[in-house]
Structure 1
Amino acid sequence: MRKVELLPLKLPVVRPGDDLARLLVTASKAYGGFQKGDILVVCSKAVSASQGRTVRLEEVRPSERARELSKRTGLEPPFVELVLREADAVLGVMDGAILTIKDGMPLANAGIDHSNSPPGTVSLLPTGSAAGELRERIRRLTGRWVGVIISDSVVKPLRRGTVGQAVQWAGIEPVEDCRGRRDLFGRRLQITFRCLADQLASAAQLLMGEANERTPAVIVRGSGLALTHRPKSSPGIPPRKCLYFSFLLGRSKR
């Protein structure tokens, strides 16, 4: 039976301009450094901090729409303004949150968060191909390729509490197509896919925590997943093919 290990990496508080890859490589030495087949899960906050994706709210000038949504949500107008700038679409609002689409994912407040950000600031999601850049930097420092997942905390419909979700990835196939395989009773699977990137992100979340754990990264060792330079799959699907959104869009069969 395969043994999978989750190895937490303790880091100092990451600042803008820090060499995050070097910090991770140093921390990995507690486990003999990065090994063949390792997959590194890093929380989005650490990546955003190193990119300087932290914004002081006092420097944001809110628009009229932001002020109007602020009254409906109870959120600070500058915070709402950032949500509007970062979101690809706004789906709705409630007390304390704005439901948005960001990079093809439904996210509260476009992934913008106060937690684990300096007072008076918020963190935006990482920009660009951060996962690929981090993977390449680690290879240059160690001579070894690893898989990289950047994770964020999200909530699921009708469930209390957060789980981990991959917002970027590099070096792994994020989705496994299980269609055509047989179940325990010989039936062929018809529609089943496994989102491996999200599963690994949630597993790592067990050790990362949400408060002052100072564990922004976890090495997943022994997963058995093959690393790849050119992933062929993606977890994203259009709204019309989504179980939840097809109902919201009124396209379900009744």
Structure 2
Amino acid sequence: MQRTPGLEIIPLIGLPEFTPDHSLATEIVRSLVGIAVDDGDVLAVTSKVVSKVEGCFVPASERAELIERDTVRVVARMRGPNASAIVENRLGVVAAAAGVDASNVAGDWVLALPEDPDASARRLANELRDALGIDLGIVITDTVGRPWRYGQTDIAIGSANVALYADERGGKDTAGKPLTVTQRCVADEIAAASDLVKGKTAGIPVALVRGLGEYVVPGTDQRARHINRDLELDLFSLGTQEAFEEGYRSALAAVAAGKVLDPRAE
């Protein structure tokens, strides 16, 4: 694919505080009045407003039970008071507290992530096509940390009509050297870029991204869930302390089974 020469990211202003009584598509259409929008544009939508519209509220008193329900496996446990665990959640995303969040949620409630963000994205794309007569790309975003870097960024947890990757493998770089690894995750790049005009404190949950028409593919079967690396291919599937503990347990089991000598007996 040829690189896009320019990119424009426009925050959608005036969206309401979403509840299950709102139609996300209807409110987005209202906020687009006066903004030129066309086939090939992308909407980056914060997962929190999708959760609110879909009614994913849980009493704050049940937060621990919700995290446990949505946890597939524990990757690492954070240390210190009120620390939570880094886990793989039911969507395959590795995140603190399974993605359960209380920020920007009124009252004594917390929000779970949408049940199926890819399905939510597809539904929103279809509703916007019916309302506007155009095919928009949809990326549903959520905020996560990175294991080797400070700070957080947004990633794609749901998508529709968007090619997830720009696969440059098999091509050559500007020096004529073969590219064997480069596979840019366009969906995550859209999510991260859009958060520059959205964010938790701005009250702007949706951004329009222009200039990426080459990556908007109506009807594509690519889904953001496919971005998650399979566990058997994950070289960093456990935290440091958890890896030590698992290794120790495995060694004790091997000693008990007589497969290795017990070094403590020397």
Give the TM-score category using the shorter length.
Answer: 0.7 to 0.9
The alpha carbon displacement at 1:90 in A equals: 2.2
Distance 2:191 2:34 in 1: 21
**2:227 counterpart SS class:** coil
- In the alignment, is the contact (CA less than 8 A) between 1:54 and 1:121 conserved in 2? yes
Identity across matched positions, percent: 30
TM-score by length of 2: 0.80
TM-score by length of 1: 0.84
- 2:100 equivalent in structure 1: 112
Distance 2:238 2:54 in 1: 36
Max Rg structure: 2
- 1:165 equivalent in structure 2: 155
Q: Please list the CA deviations of residues 58-91 of structure 1 after superposition, one character each: whole Å capped at 9, or x if unmatched.
A: 4xxxxxxxxxxxxxxxxxxx32211001122222
- 2:233 equivalent in structure 1: 241
Distance 1:134 1:172 in 2: 13
Output the amino acid matched with 1:41: A
Query: How is 1:72-91 mapped onto 2 (pairs within 5 angstroms)?
Result: 78-91=62-75
Deviates more, 1:10-19 or 1:46-55: 10-19
- 2:29 equivalent in structure 1: 25
Give the length in aligned residue pairs. Answer: 229
Output the amino acid matched with 1:124: A
Distance 1:240 1:48 in 2: 30
- In the alignment, is the contact (CA less than 8 A) between 1:172 and 1:231 conserved in 2? no
- In the alignment, is the contact (CA less than 8 A) between 2:75 and 2:237 conserved in 1? no
- 2:257 equivalent in structure 1: none
Distance 1:232 1:86 in 2: 24
Is 1:15 the counterpart of 2:5? The answer is: no
- 2:261 equivalent in structure 1: none
- In the alignment, is the contact (CA less than 8 A) between 2:99 and 2:112 conserved in 1? yes
Output the amino acid matched with 2:24: L
Distance 1:236 1:86 in 2: 16
Unaligned runs of 5+ in 1: 59-77
**1:18 counterpart SS class:** coil
Query: How is 1:1-254 mapped onto 2 (pairs within 5 angstroms)?
Result: 2-10=5-13, 11-32=15-36, 34-58=37-61, 78-94=62-78, 95=80, 96-102=83-89, 103-128=91-116, 129-211=119-201, 213-228=202-217, 229-232=219-222, 234-245=226-237
The alpha carbon displacement at 1:57 in A equals: 2.2
Output the amino acid matched with 2:146: K
Distance 1:183 1:244 in 2: 29
- In the alignment, is the contact (CA less than 8 A) between 1:174 and 1:231 conserved in 2? no
Runs of 4 or more above 6 Å deviation: 246-250
Unaligned runs of 5+ in 2: 245-266
The alpha carbon displacement at 1:232 in A equals: 4.3
**2:213 counterpart SS class:** coil
**1:55 counterpart SS class:** strand
Mark the CA change 1:30 to 1:98 in structure 2 (over 3 Å): closer, same or farther.
Answer: farther
Output the amino acid matched with 1:152: D
